[in-house]
Every structure is written in C-alpha cells, then in structure tokens.
Amino acid sequence: MSLKDKLAEDMKQAMKDREAGKVQLSVIRMVRANIKNVEINYKKELSDSEVLDVIAKEVKMRRDAMEEFQRGNRPDLVDNLEKEIDVLMQYLPQQLDENEVRALVTEAIAQTNATSPKDMGKVMSNLMPKVKGRANGKLINSIVKELLNQ
C-alpha cells in the first residue's frame, strides 16, 4: 500500500471516528491537498519518497511555527501544533536519536576527509541522503558544526 493510499484510508477512518478523529482528519486533509498541489505543479504522480518530503516539510513548518508561538506565549496554539505533529509523525520513518545522528555525522566526516567548518557542504551532501526524513535538519546541522569546530 502506497503512502497516499494509507493517507486516504486513515482519512476515512478519521471521518468515522467523528469527534475523536477531528485533528487527524484536518491534518490529513491538509497534507493530501499539499501533495495534490505538488503533483499539479510538477505534472506527475508523486512517489512515496516525494510524499515523505511533503510530509517532512509540513512537520518542519509546524515546528517553526511552534517556536514562534512559544515566544509569543500562546500555549493553546503550541498544544494544537504538537497534536498535528504527532499525527504527521505516524507517516514518517522511525526518527534517529541524537547518538545515531552523531555516529552518522562522524562517519560522513571521515568519508569526506573534512577538517574544518569550510567542509560543511561536503559533509552535509554526503549525510543528507542517509538521514532523509529520519532526523531533524537543525539537529544534524548543529552536530556537524560542533564536530567540525573541534
């Protein structure tokens, strides 16, 4: 079953759940609309990998908005975004923890023979295909900077 099919099935289930599935239903509808928009823009059917990119982008947007709402002291909106992120995370692959990311970064630094922060681009281009959709980009970036500055 493709990821788009799973989203459609989960949307039907959320409709049946009525009040209990309200947040899930709205999030899935929003994601499906964004997937459809990307398909229209590129004039092609998206693969599961490309659908994962759309979902990851949605999670990133919500995390960025959550930071702003926290600074603005809006806990009600932060709670809503956390619920939405929880729904979206069901469709992403298992996330890597910080130690796993550190190990992959160390391996990428060794493979690219990086020695200074100037080599960050080489490290990131080597690393990103391995962690695509499985780790937060800000976490990866900070670990790469930290290890290259040592």
Total tally of structural domains belonging to the chain? 2
Within this chain, do residues 80 and 140 fall inside the same structural domain, yes or no?
no
Mean pLDDT of the chain: 91
7, 48: one domain: yes
Q: Is-above-0.95 flag for pTM? A: no
The answer on 60 and 11 residing in a single domain is yes
Looking at the fold, whether 106 and 59 belong to one and the same domain comes out as: no
What whole-number distance in Å separates Cα of residue 100 and Cα of residue 140?
Answer: 11
**Residue 138, domain CATH:** 1.10.10.410
Q: What is the pLDDT of residues 34-77, one digit of tens each?
A: 999 999 999 999 999 899 989 989 999 999 999 999 999 999 99
Q: Following CA atoms 81, 142, 133, 84 in sequence, which dihedral angle do they give, to the nearest 10 degrees?
A: 0
Q: What angle do CA 24, 25, 31 make, to 5 degrees?
A: 90
Structure-derived torsion over alpha carbons of residues 23, 94, 2, 27, reported in degrees to the nearest 10: 10
Supply the range of the domain harboring residue 102: 98-148
Domain boundary among 62, 89, 116: 89
pLDDT band at 117 (very low <50, low <70, confident <90, very high): confident
Confidence band for 136, pLDDT divided at 50, 70 and 90: confident
Same domain, 53 and 77: yes
Decide: residue 60, CB within 10 A, 0-12 exposed, 13-18 middle, 19+ buried. middle
Check which CATH number belongs to the domain holding 26 and give it.
Answer: 1.10.1510.10
- Asked if 14 and 49 sit in the same domain, the reply is yes
- Percent of the chain having pLDDT more than 90? 61
User: Is the pLDDT at 133 greater than 80, yes or no?
Assistant: no
Q: How many whole angstroms separate alpha carbon 31 and alpha carbon 50?
A: 13
